[in-house]
Amino acid sequence: MKKILVTGGAGYIGSHTVVELTALGYTPIIVDNLCNTTIQNIEGIEKIIGKKIKWHNTDCTDKVGMDKVFAEEGTIEGAIHFAAYKAVEESVQNPQKYYDNNMGSLKVLLELMCKNKVKNIIFSSSCTVYGMPDVLPVTEDAPFKKAESPYGETKQICEGMLKEDTVNSVALRYFNPIGSHPSALIGDCSADKPSNLVPIITEVAIGKREKITVFGDDYNTPDGTCIRDYIHVVDLAKSHVLAMNFLINNPGKYAFNVGTGIGISVLDAVKAFEKANNLKINFSIGPRRSGDIEQIYANGSFVKNKLGWEAKETLEQAMKSAWEWEKLKC
């Protein structure tokens, strides 16, 4: 059984990926210091896969600690690197925290992969690297625009670090991950106050917030609200397993978009949640949010050709699972 080191494997996307890796016969080894998640996700993974999971409570920026992880685990086929901070607004307030953790953890990981002859890495990147693309749907060769936040900058810099390293790498550029595992046993346990659209909708649904403010309805889009590509986290998780299989058999450096290819407006997303769950969501229209881009959605041809991956879950399934998670989460 091939071991895959999964940094940040107790987090939102990481926990779903650990489940999918196990289903396809890999042995995931989690490294997560729980700085932005809880033990509930580890327990949830174990319930879903029906066995114990190996977990190191180690800070990925701690080279000595990470050295011990590599020494203890022996032969590792590859790493999937989720561990990073992800709150865009906080990164504007405290950029250094983001530079230290997001670049710091990758630097340590790459050094130790080289030392231990681990050749393959899948990196969690983001469509934020593109900024507002000139051509839609956006392809992987679109140029990086100036980052909208220090968080976005860390993703651009990390992709650059991968290019300069000798390691084989896949940067997966996620569009907007939403939803949860159908069991509702794992999900987003982050300490951050939600600022993403779907967690805010679910907070309104459960009564934690009175309403959602739609940030602007005067964009140049059919209904005037911003357009994004919302991808079910289970589909997203599966792309990591395919990417690892691919990289093991096709050494090199790659970047793939991971989105549905379908642009959904904010108002459409609210309506989709209402329809999926038979609930009404109170909303009002507010001013634009600074730094928001008008629209982005993925061209998925390259990832489909190379990895054979495309999104399978519907927006309705994603919205249902998001609501189930809100009701059961930590």
| Residues annotated as part of the active site | 151
Among 91, 126, 257, 260, binds ligand WQD (CB under 6 A): 126
Q: How far is CA 183 from the centre of its chain?
A: 19
Q: What residue is closest to ligand NAD based on CB?
A: 11
Residue 11 lies near ligand NAD (rule: CB under 6 A): yes
- Give the DSSP H or E segment for 265: strand 264-265
Q: Which is nearer to ligand NAD, 93 or 250 (CB)?
A: 93
Question: Could you say which residues in the range 76-115 bind ligand WQD, by CB under 6 A?
Answer: 86, 88
Q: Which is nearer to ligand WQD, 70 or 98 (CB)?
A: 98
Residue 223: partners with Cβ closer than 8 Å, 6 or more residues away? 217, 265, 267, 268
Rounded to the nearest 5 percent, the helix, strand and coil shares of the chain are 40, 20, 40
Residue 83 lies near ligand NAD (rule: CB under 6 A): yes
Nearest distance, CB of residue 270 and ligand WQD, angstroms: 9
Nearest distance, CB of residue 278 and ligand NAD, angstroms: 26
Q: What is the CA radius of gyration of the chain?
A: 19
Nearest distance, CB of residue 312 and ligand NAD, angstroms: 19
Residue 228 lies near ligand WQD (rule: CB under 6 A): yes
Determine contact, residues 20/238, Cβ cutoff 8 Å: yes
In 250-296, alpha helices (H): 266-277
Q: Which is nearer to ligand NAD, 22 or 128 (CB)?
A: 128
Residue 292 lies near ligand WQD (rule: CB under 6 A): yes
Residue 128 lies near ligand WQD (rule: CB under 6 A): yes
Q: How far apart are CA 258 and CA 171, in angstroms?
A: 10
Q: Which is nearer to ligand WQD, 55 or 235 (CB)?
A: 235
Among 60, 109, 276, 319, binds ligand NAD (CB under 6 A): 60
Partner that binds at residue 215, options ligand WQD, ligand NAD, none, CB closer than 5 to 8 Å by kind: ligand WQD
Strand partners, 81: 7, 123
Residue listed under structure tokens 């993925």? 298
User: In the chain, which ranges are E strands?
Assistant: 3-7, 27-31, 54-56, 78-81, 120-126, 168-174, 176-178, 212-215, 227-228, 230-232, 253-258, 264-265, 283-286
Partner that binds at residue 226, options ligand WQD, ligand NAD, none, CB closer than 5 to 8 Å by kind: ligand WQD
Residue 174 lies near ligand NAD (rule: CB under 6 A): yes
Residue 44 lies near ligand NAD (rule: CB under 6 A): no
Query: What's the angle, vertex CA 187, arms to CA 182 and CA 192, rounded to 5?
Result: 155
Determine contact, residues 123/169, Cβ cutoff 8 Å: yes
Residue 214 lies near ligand WQD (rule: CB under 6 A): yes
Residue 213 lies near ligand WQD (rule: CB under 6 A): yes
Least Cα distance to 244 among 64, 6, 11, 45 occurs for: 6
- Judged by the rule CB under 6 A, the positions of this chain that interact with ligand WQD are 86, 88, 126, 128, 152, 176, 195-197, 200, 212-215, 226, 228, 266, 289, 292
